[in-house]
């Protein structure tokens, strides 16, 4: 196929530019082309959320979106959320409250949870369960994931109050 498209993305603050076939899926672009392997492939039907990234401020499942559809957009993956020296409170809370086991869903979970807490800084348990229902975990039974998100929400709210 030769009908390649010119695509520009900004991923985790870095500009990327390349030619891709129209059928190239965004998860493939991230993982194979840009070596960003935090987002994982789990189901390829948008059900499991292992591939969740943030695009222009919204949670998106990158396994069912074409790279071409993301042209010109800003993308954040788990790699852009926090590193060893500047952990996001959610990353710290998932460890503290045993919110992960095999770790395969974790990048998608944390990426989604960052948006959830932006949209709703003090969610109830029910709101967390509903807001995270697009991300499947096969190991934890969710209880400790919810605990982790609640703990991070409390910490982030306290930090915000202290700053004000």
Q: Which residues of the chain form contacts with other proteins (CB under 8 A)?
A: 21, 23-24, 28, 31-32, 35-45, 47-48, 50, 77-79, 82-84, 87, 91, 94-96, 98, 100-107, 110, 128-130, 132-146
Of 9 and 116, the one with the shorter C-beta distance to other proteins is 116
Of 1 and 163, the one with the shorter C-beta distance to other proteins is 1
Q: How far is the CB of 126 from other proteins (least distance, A)?
A: 9
Strand 74-76 with 52-55, pairing:
antiparallel
**How far is the C-alpha of 105 from the C-alpha of 50, rounded, in Å?**
5
Q: How far is the CB of 110 from other proteins (least distance, A)?
A: 6
Of 19 and 162, the one with the shorter C-beta distance to other proteins is 19
Of 72 and 78, the one with the shorter C-beta distance to other proteins is 78
**Which residue do the tokens 């672009």 mark?**
29
Q: How far is the CB of 72 from other proteins (least distance, A)?
A: 23
Of 43 and 154, the one with the shorter C-beta distance to other proteins is 43
Q: How far is the CB of 74 from other proteins (least distance, A)?
A: 18
The answer to whether residues 126 and 116 touch, using CB atoms and an 8 Å cutoff, is no
Q: How far is the CB of 114 from other proteins (least distance, A)?
A: 12
The answer to whether residues 88 and 159 touch, using CB atoms and an 8 Å cutoff, is no
CA separation, residue 65 to residues 13, 27, 44, 124, 145 (Å): 20, 8, 10, 31, 26
Sheet containing 14-20: order of strands: 14-20, 5-11, 74-76, 52-55, 58-61
**How far is the C-alpha of 136 from the C-alpha of 42, rounded, in Å?**
9
């Amino acid at each position: 196929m030769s009908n390649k498209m010119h695509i520009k993305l900004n991923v985790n603050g870095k500009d990327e530019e390349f030619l891709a076939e129209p059928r190239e899926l965004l998860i493939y672009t991230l993982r194979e082309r840009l070596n960003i392997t935090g987002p994982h492939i789990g189901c390829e039907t948008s059900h499991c959320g292992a591939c969740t990234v943030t695009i222009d401020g919204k949670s998106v499942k990158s396994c069912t979106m074409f790279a071409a559809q993301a042209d010109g957009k800003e993308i954040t993956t788990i790699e852009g959320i926090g590193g060893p020296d500047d952990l996001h409170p959610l990353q710290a809370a998932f460890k503290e409250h045993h919110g992960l086991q095999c770790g395969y869903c974790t990048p998608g979970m944390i990426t989604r949870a960052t948006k959830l807490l932006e949209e709703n800084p003090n969610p109830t348990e029910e709101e967390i369960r509903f807001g995270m229902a697009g991300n499947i975990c096969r190991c934890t039974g969710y209880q400790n994931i919810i605990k982790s998100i609640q703990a991070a929400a409390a910490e982030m709210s306290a930090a915000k109050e202290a700053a004000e």
